Chains A and B, each alone.
Chain A
Amino acid sequence: MGRFITSRMRGPWTLFKKELLRFWRVGFQTVAAPVMTALLYLLIFSHVLEDKVQVYPGVGYTAFLIPGLIMMSLLQNAFANSSSSLIQSKVMGNIIFVMLTPISYLQFFLAFLAAAIIRGMVVGACIYLVAMFFVDLPLAHPGWILTFALLGSALLGTFGIIAGIWAEKFDQMAVFQNFVIMPLSFLSGVFYSIHSLPPFWQQVSHLNPFFYMIDGFRYGFFGTGDISPYISLGVVVTCFFALSLLTLRMLKSGYKLRG
Chain B
Amino acid sequence: MIPAINIQQVHQHFGDLHALKGIDLRIEQGEFFALLGPNGAGKSTLINLLAGLLRPSSGTLEVMGFDVNAQYSQARHALGVVPQELVFDPFFNVREMLRFQAGYFGHGRENDAWVDEVIESLGLTDKAHTNMRRLSGGMKRRALIAQALAHKPPVIVLDEPTAGVDVELRQTMWDFIRRLNREGHTIILTTHYLEEAEKLCSRIAMMKLGQIVALDSTQNLLNRLPGKKLQLKLSAALPFSLQGLVREQNDDGYTLALSAPAQLESILAELRVANVAIEDMQLIEVDLEDVFVDLVGQ
Contacts and interface: CB of A to CB of B under 8 A. Distances in A.
Contacts of B73: 102, 104
Interface in B73-94: 73-74, 76-77, 79, 81, 83, 85, 87-92
B104 interface: yes
B87 A102 contact: no
B87 A22 contact: no
A236 to B, nearest CB: 32
B52 A100 contact: yes
Contact of B87 (A5, A21, A26, A92): A92
B55 interface: yes
Contact of A259 (B48, B83, B85): B48
Given A21-B92, A102-B73, A102-B77, A96 B87 contact: yes
Contacts of A10: 103, 106-108
A97 B101 contact: yes
Interface stretch (A11-19, A75-83, A134-142, A203-211): A11-19
B76 A100 contact: yes
A178 interface: no
A7 B106 CA distance: 5
Interface string B167-185: 0000000000000000000
A97 B82 CA distance: 10
Given A92-B87, A92-B88, A93-B87, A99 B52 contact: yes
Contact of B54 (A7, A13, A94, A259): A259
Interface residues of B, number: 32
A81 to B, nearest CB: 13
A100 B89 contact: no
Contacts of A27: none
B23 interface: no
B54 to A, nearest CB: 4
Interface string B223-253: 0000000000000000000000000000000
A122 B83 CA distance: 36
B99 to A, nearest CB: 8
Interface in B23-72: 48, 51-55, 72
A100 B156 CA distance: 12
Interface string A84-105: 0000010011101111111110
B129 to A, nearest CB: 14
A100 B51 contact: yes
Interface string B129-158: 000000000000000000100000000000
Contacts of B51: 99-100
17 contacts: A7-B108, A8-B106, A10-B106, A14-B103, A17-B103, A18-B92, A21-B91, A92-B89, A94-B87, A96-B53, A99-B51, A99-B52, A102-B73, A102-B74, A104-B73, A258-B53, A259-B53
Which 8 A-B pairs rank lowest in CB-CB distance, beginning with the nearest?
A: A14-B103, A93-B87, A259-B54, A101-B104, A102-B73, A7-B106, A94-B89, A102-B76
